[in-house]
Structure 1
Amino acid sequence: CCFELTDFGTHAAVSVVTKGDSDDANGCNIESNSAWLQVCRVGNNFAFHYSADGTNFYMMRYFHLPSKPIIKVGLLAQAPSGNGGKRIYEHLSIEHKTVKNIRSGK
């Protein structure tokens, strides 16, 4: 689940999922220089969400990925070309809470 500067000079909510091979799916453009990202897991089902204001979140991607019961998460900043830039991470939280599984109704 990423927020990146695209090859077109826009900022976008982007996702990459690796199941043997990795894909790269550009999402919608975001007009500001910041975004809120959210990852939600129910069993082996994951959902990525983004927000431009930190209040209204929209689904970027929903997928199934066989995983162990406990996974590691973290943050990464990269600049594959150019001089990079300044990254600021704020309001980071990792929570264990119940969410509704839309498919099963649980």
Structure 2
Amino acid sequence: MMRFCYVLPLALAVLAGCNSAPSTATTTAGQSAAAPADSSATATAAPGEACNVQVAGLTFTHSLNGAAQNATVAAGRLTLRSDAKRDNFNDPDGKLTNNTAPVLLTEVNNRQPFTLTANVTPEFLDMYDAGVLYVYLNPKLWQKFCFERDELARTRIVSVRTIGTSDDNNHDLVKQKNVFLKISSDTKTIGFYYSLDGRNWELARLYKNEYPATIWLGVSTQAPVGKGTSARFESCTLTQTSIKDFRRGV
């Protein structure tokens, strides 16, 4: 199965509009940046449907699987709802493949550094419910970084990297209800980090940035086996800078 997302407090009026259906959403994030292209990663058309989901300094311009219609913004926080049985995972044997999770995305120049952060509070109702951050190119090339409920009803950090098919990595257990998630790139390396207080960071994953010049960053909520859930994203920021220390996350 699969899972994921976080950062900076700001509130603006809710303004959302998608070209397929009206949206109740608005979102917070910042600007983006990115890394060098690799011959194995080819760019594709913009994903999903165009939309305008705004919160503070961040605008999500594309919506996958009805994300904009499932998003609301109030008091500087974005709440994103997932319907039942929604997930993103490309199962190696195909049995559990599911590409229906709602994802809000913003375009990033991957030839520049970037850092996306958010304070994520999922509503944990069932197994694999999660709040998530994304690095996305197309349905067969993406990563997600989750705060997720596992098979034993524990909540933990989880990452999934998809290159055709998906891997699945369980990381540390987190006992509090919210966690800060961060994805950062210096154009060569991408790092995933989490924090309990937004100041002290723990490394979850590092890998080579092999994405093309244009990629997408985003937030999502998933409910792979349950009846649906939601996640709250606060203090979201997207900057055109990277962290300095990829081991310590600062």
Smaller-chain TM-score range?
0.7 to 0.9
Alignment RMSD (CA, Å): 1.6
Per-residue deviation, residues 19-56 of structure 1 (Å, max 9, x unmatched): 23211101000011111100011224210000112111
SS at match of 2:173: strand
Q: 1:39 aligns to what?
A: 183
Larger C-alpha radius of gyration, 1 or 2? 2
Q: Deviations over 1:53-91 (max 9, x none)?
A: 211111000012410123111111010112223311111
- Alpha carbons of 1:50 and 1:68: their partners in 2 closer, same or farther (altered >3 Å)? same
Contact 1:42/1:101 (8 A) holds in 2: no
Matches within 5 A, 1:24-35: 24-35=168-179
What aligned pairs does 1:5-84 form with structure 2 within 5 A after superposition? 5-84=149-228
Partner amino acid, structure 2, of 1:59: L
8 Å CA contact 1:49–1:58 kept in 2: the answer is yes
Greater relative contact order (Cα 8 A, min sep 6): structure 1 or 2?
Answer: 2
Question: What CA distance in whole angstroms lies between the structure 2 residues aligned with 1:30 and 1:101?
Answer: 23
Q: Normalized against structure 1, the TM-score is what?
A: 0.86
Give how far 1:18 is off: 1.3
TM-score calculated relative to the size of structure 2 = 0.39
- Alpha carbons 1:44, 1:67 under 8 Å: kept: no
Contact 2:180 2:197 in 1 (8 A): yes
Contact 2:181 2:192 in 1 (8 A): yes
Q: C-alpha distance in 1, partners of 2:243/2:189?
A: 12
Give the Cα–Cα distance (whole angstroms) in 2 for the partners of residues 24 and 82 of structure 1.
19
With over 3 angstroms needed to count, the CA separation of the structure-2 counterparts of 1:67 and 1:101, relative to structure 1, is: farther
Distance, in Å, in 1 between the alignment partners of 2:184 and 2:204 is: 11
- Identical amino acids, percent of aligned pairs: 28
SS at match of 1:37: strand
Partner of 1:2: 146
Alignment length, in residue pairs? 102
